[in-house]
């Protein structure tokens, strides 16, 4: 217990880690707030620079950016009616009308306090649930990991995209990209076309930078001339009677946000929308109707999206399945540092788990400080035109892609992935499943082959193994259920 | 997110392109190790590309059932998919990537920032120059000094 506490407090008493966490949270608030910049984009670029650092330092910075970024989107949603991040879409519905009534400061203050509360509850859930899940997950075999990987990709594809087919296509494309290079088991060339550059495979960070950074920059070109409407900001510190009054709603939304965040494929955006919907249904007599500046409509999504951060770490650390796009990138960061997220992470490297828990707690406390201060400078910074941001994103993406292996070819690849990502996004494909496919593809491949070798290359025995072991059976049923519910006639019945 | 009821311009052609690409990917996957065994290096690529073919056909089928877009034809596709700004910016990026090995990262990035900011922001060349200078300075200090990334120098300066 004392040992766990000392790991928990690592970043609290190390001045360098403390500064990195503060810096990450501060930067995250601005990254999340500036329309056109996203936490996913920032995290993918940051990994390419921090992979030579100590793992704690890299995680301190990225976790800070994550926590700050999820919150930051709310500020522009309230002030400009432009959600800085998808998780702040619901916040704008009531946040902006509050700002129009001259209550922007109060709305920001309240959303900050509630976001911190949600964030801390999410971290508490991570601390309590992760060890229990990990203890159970130690019993997982190769075929279970294969099934988990497939379920993770399909969940992201199903929940975040326009259609299941598009999500599955994107996930399979990601697996294909992840297969490029020499087969680690037989050294056979896969999709290398005789190119030496392709033999080492495609670093997933390069794919991430291309699909999230460059593609988003190209999509954003459409909105390059959008000018935001400015709001006046008065008092920021919220009235404590308001905090007390909405405490029950905050707790309820935090619980919902944590659970939604913990489901692979969902994230702060879905958590926020569901919490908003739930608040709207359960609030009988709001002071102001929803959509016209109801404080309940501001608090519920803001608490839920920050609670989802802690929730998203649960499947990532215990099963190696990311809860959302950012945790998919953090998985990448752990792999780069030679760590393998999964049930053994908690037993082999408990210091890392407790460090993450402590660091997320610290980042939430920094969020309270940064959220309630510096609003005047903030309003100036978020007005930075997209015309400057877009070329900057491209330059940062280029240096990020290059820095991974000091290879200029990777800049070309990132650009190519960016163009492909642009076309896919224009036709309603999500790029999240592609990245997840690139990261999880090799894991699925290796575990499938191990499981098949275990079944002596006998399809009948392989299928029997899937159906005769309890964990495999549950996962197989979950996978089959996911596939069956996507069939057109089942969807018709559901409607 | 629900799929819109009408097609986006070029959506059907794009779906067809995806099916063709998936078919090619399957062929390439088969070429890795054929059907020699169930644990060879080509099995997972074949499964993945097989899923791509199947889902690609579903997407194509779905696009055939949807109503045609308001802006159809080549003109509609160009307006939707290739707005001038995107085409020119992509060309600028291509030149930028091609220039890095000879001109180096800092000079190429500086020129890219100057041209792009001047063109997109329309506040005049002086503002664009100032912004690109400051940005390149910050990038140099941040990445070269703080993160210690060895940025490509360029063959012209060796």
Chain B residues 83-122 within an 8 A CB cutoff of chain A: 83, 85-86, 89-90, 93-94, 96-97, 100-101, 105, 109, 112-113, 116-117, 120-122
B19 touches chain A (CB under 8 A): no
Distance from CA of A284 to the nearest CA of B (A): 28
In 3D space, the residue among A336, A331, A332 whose CA is nearest the CA of residue A316 turns out to be A331
Residue count of chain A, please give it: 495
Q: A139 burial class (0-12, 13-18, 19+ CB within 10 angstroms)?
A: exposed
A49: chain B residues, CB-CB within 8 Å: 143, 147, 149
Minimal C-alpha gap between A186 and chain B (Å): 7
User: In angstroms, what separates the C-alpha of B7 from chain A's closest C-alpha?
Assistant: 9
Chain A residues within 8 A of B90 when measuring between CB atoms: 218, 419
**In sequence order, what are the beta bridge partners of B67?**
B6
Does B43 contact A at CB distance below 8 Å?
Answer: yes
Distance, in Å, from the CA atom of A422 to the CA atom of B5, rounded to the nearest integer, reads 21
CA atoms within 13 A on the CB side of A57: 9
Binning pLDDT at 50, 70 and 90, where does residue A31 land?
Answer: confident
In degrees to the nearest 10, what's the CA dihedral of A479, A164, A45, A446? 30
Buried b (16+ CB within 10 A) or exposed e, A202-239: bbbbbbbbbbbbbbbbbbbbeebeeeeeebebeebebe
For A173-210, the DSSP string reads HHHHHHH-EE-TTT--EES-TT-HHHHT---HHHHHII
Q: Which residues neighbour A50 within 8 Å (Cβ) at sequence distance 6 or greater?
A: A57, A58, A61, A62, A333, B147
pLDDT at site A265: 62
Q: Do B42 and A166 touch (CB under 8 A)?
A: no
Q: Percent of chain A beyond pLDDT 90?
A: 31
Greatest mean pLDDT among A236-245, A393-402, A424-433, B101-110 lies in: B101-110
3-class state of residue B6 by DSSP: strand
Residues 6+ apart with CB under 8 A from A78: A91, A92, A95, A96, A98, A99, A104, A107, A108, A111, A231, A298
Asked if A114 and A373 count as a contact pair (C-beta separation under 8 A), the reply is no
Classify residue A271 as left (phi > 0), alpha (psi -120 to 50) or beta: alpha
Identify whether the C-beta of residue A465 lies closer than 8 Å to the C-beta of residue A143.
Answer: yes
Answer with the residue of higher pLDDT: A232 or A268: A268
> A58: nearest CA in chain B?
B147
Nearest CA in chain A to B48: A172
Residue A300 carries which DSSP code?
Answer: H
Least confident range from A136-145, A193-202, A472-481, B90-99: namely A136-145
For the four alpha carbons of B150, B151, B155 and B158, in that order, the dihedral sign comes to negative
Contacts 24+ apart (CB under 8 A), A459-468: A459/B38, A462/A143, A465/A143, A466/A143, A466/A147
- Look at residues A468, A329, A271 and name the one whose alpha carbon lies nearest to residue A50: A329
Closest alpha carbon to A224 in B152, B46, B122:
B122
A363 and A122 Cβ atoms separated by less than 8 Å: no
pLDDT number for residue A227: 62
Would you state the structure tokens that stand for residue B17, as one six-digit string? 């392109």
* A246 to chain B, closest Cα gap in Å: 30
**pLDDT digits over A155-189, tens only?**
766 655 678 899 899 999 999 999 999 998 888 99
pLDDT band for position A358 (cuts 50, 70, 90): very high
Residues A434 and A422: their CA atoms lie apart, in Å, by 13
pLDDT given for residue A231 in this prediction: 62
Does the beta-carbon distance from A427 to B80 stay under 8 Å?
A: no
pLDDT exceeds 60 at position B126: yes
Q: Can you tell me which residue has the tokens 């609670």?
A: A307
DSSP string, A16-83: HHHHHHHHHHHHHHHHHHSTT--HHHHHHHHHHHHTTS-HHHHHHHHHHHHHHHHHHHHHHHHHHS--
Q: What is the ipTM of this complex?
A: 0.94
pLDDT at B116 over 90: yes
Q: What is the pLDDT of residue A158?
A: 67
Contacts of A452 in chain B (CB under 8 A): 38-39
Nearest to A107 by CA among A289, A232, A275, A238: A238
pLDDT tier at A70, thresholds 50, 70, 90: confident
Residues 6+ apart with CB under 8 A from A240: none
Distance from CA of B17 to the nearest CA of A (A): 12
Alpha-carbon gap, residue A37 to A412, rounded angstroms: 22
Measure in Å the smallest separation between the Cα of A188 and chain B Cα atoms.
7
For residues A327-352, average pLDDT: 82
Take residue A303 and report the two structure tokens written for it.
Answer: 């608490």
How many Cβ contacts (< 8 angstroms) between chains A and B?
Answer: 168
Nearest in space to B106 (alpha carbons), one of B148, B126, B135, B145 = B135
User: Within an 8 Å CB–CB cutoff, is residue A54 touching chain B?
Assistant: no
Mean per-residue pLDDT, B34-41? 90
Q: Using an 8 Å Cβ cutoff, are A88 and A297 in contact?
A: no
- Whether the CB-CB separation of A149 and A336 falls below 8 Å is answered with no
Q: For residues A294 and A415, what is the distance between their CA atoms, to the nearest angstrom? A: 44
Token representation of residue A293: 């500046």
pLDDT tens by residue, A286-295: 888 888 889 9
- B57: exposed, middle or buried (Cβ count in 10 Å: 0-12, 13-18, 19+): middle
Question: How is residue B55 written in tokens?
Answer: 């889902």
Q: What is the DSSP string of B57-82?
A: HHHHHHHHHSBPPSS-HHHHHHHHH-
Of A255-259, B48-52, B109-113, the least confident: A255-259
Q: Which of A378, A299, A371 is nearest to A90 (CA)?
A: A299
Chain A contact set for B93 (CB, 8 A)? 214, 394, 415
Residue in B closest to A227 by C-alpha: B121
Q: Which two tokens stand for residue A464?
A: 């029997």
Which residues lie below 8 Å from residue A338, measured CB to CB, with a gap of 6+?
Answer: none
Residue A446: its H or E element: helix A432-454
A389 touches chain B (CB under 8 A): no
Contacts of A311 (CB under 8 A, 6+ apart): A122, A125, A126, A257, A258, A259, A260, A261, A262, A263, A271, A323
B113, HSE (Cβ side, Cα atoms, 13 Å): 26
Q: Looking at residues B46-52, what average pLDDT do you find? A: 96
pLDDT higher than threshold 90 for residue A460: yes
């Amino acid at each position: 217990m004392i040992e766990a506490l000392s790991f928990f407090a690592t970043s609290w008493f190390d001045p360098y880690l403390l500064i990195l966490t503060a810096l990450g949270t501060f930067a995250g608030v601005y990254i999340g707030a500036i329309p056109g910049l996203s936490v996913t984009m920032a995290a993918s670029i940051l990994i390419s620079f921090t992979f030579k650092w100590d793992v704690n330092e890299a995680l301190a910075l990225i976790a800070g950016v994550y926590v700050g970024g999820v919150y930051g989107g709310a500020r522009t949603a309230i002030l400009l009616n432009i959600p800085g991040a998808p998780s702040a879409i619901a916040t704008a519905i009531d946040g902006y009308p509050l700002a129009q009534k001259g209550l922007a400061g109060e709305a920001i203050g309240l959303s900050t306090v509630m976001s911190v509360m949600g964030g801390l509850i999410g971290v508490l859930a991570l601390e309590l649930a992760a060890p229990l899940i990990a203890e159970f997950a130690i019993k997982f075999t190769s075929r279970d990991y294969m099934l988990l990987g497939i379920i993770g990709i399909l969940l992201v594809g199903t929940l975040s995209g326009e259609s299941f087919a598009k999500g599955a296509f994107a996930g399979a494309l990601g697996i294909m990209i992840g297969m490029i290079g020499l087969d680690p088991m037989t050294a056979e060339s896969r999709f290398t076309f005789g190119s030496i550059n392709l033999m080492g495979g495609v670093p997933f960070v390069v794919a991430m930078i291309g699909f999230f950074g460059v593609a988003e920059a190209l999509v954003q070109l459409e909105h390059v001339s959008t000018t935001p409407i400015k709001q006046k900001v008065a008092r920021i510190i919220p009235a404590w009677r308001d905090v007390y009054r909405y405490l029950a709603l905050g707790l309820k939304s935090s619980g919902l946000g944590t659970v939604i965040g913990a489901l692979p494929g969902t994230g702060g955006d879905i958590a926020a929308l569901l919490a908003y919907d739930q608040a709207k249904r359960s609030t009988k007599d709001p002071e102001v109707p929803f959509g016209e500046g109801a404080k309940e409509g501001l608090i519920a999504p803001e608490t839920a999206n920050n609670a989802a951060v802690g929730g998203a770490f649960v499947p990532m650390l215990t099963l190696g399945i990311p809860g959302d796009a950012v945790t998919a990138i953090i998985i990448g960061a752990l792999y780069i540092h030679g760590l393998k997220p999964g049930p053994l992470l908690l037993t082999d490297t408990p210091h890392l788990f407790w460090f993450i828990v402590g660091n997320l707690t610290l980042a939430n406390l920094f969020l309270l400080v940064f959220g309630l201060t510096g609003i005047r400078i903030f309003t100036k910074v978020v007005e930075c035109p997209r015309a400057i941001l877009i070329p900057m994103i491209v330059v940062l993406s280029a240096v990020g892609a290059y820095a991974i292996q000091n290879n200029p070819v990777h800049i070309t690849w990132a650009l190519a992935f960016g163009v492909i990502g642009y076309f896919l996004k224009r036709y309603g494909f999500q790029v999240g499943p592609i990245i997840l496919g690139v990261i999880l593809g090799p894991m699925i491949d290796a575990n499938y082959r191990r499981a098949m070798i275990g079944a002596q290359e006998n399809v009948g025995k392989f299928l029997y193994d899937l159906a005769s072991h309890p964990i495999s059976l549950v996962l197989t049923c979950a996978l089959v259920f996911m596939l069956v519910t996507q069939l057109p006639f089942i969807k018709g019945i559901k409607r | 997110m629900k799929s819109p009821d009408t097609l986006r311009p070029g959506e059907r052609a794009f779906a067809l392109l995806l099916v063709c690409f998936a078919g090619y990917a399957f062929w390439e996957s088969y070429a890795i190790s054929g059907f020699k065994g169930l644990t060879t290096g080509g099995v997972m690529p074949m499964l993945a590309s097989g899923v791509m073919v199947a889902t690609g056909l579903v997407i194509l089928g779905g696009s055939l059932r949807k109503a045609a877009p308001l802006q159809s034809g080549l003109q509609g596709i160009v307006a939707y998919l290739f707005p001038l700004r995107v085409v020119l910016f992509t060309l600028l990026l291509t030149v930028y990537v091609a220039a890095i090995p000879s001109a180096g990262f800092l000079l190429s990035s500086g020129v890219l920032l100057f041209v792009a900011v001047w063109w997109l922001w329309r506040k005049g060349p002086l503002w664009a120059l100032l912004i690109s200078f400051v940005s390149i300075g910050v990038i140099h200090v941040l990445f070269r000094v703080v993160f210690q990334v060895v940025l490509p120098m360029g063959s012209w300066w060796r």
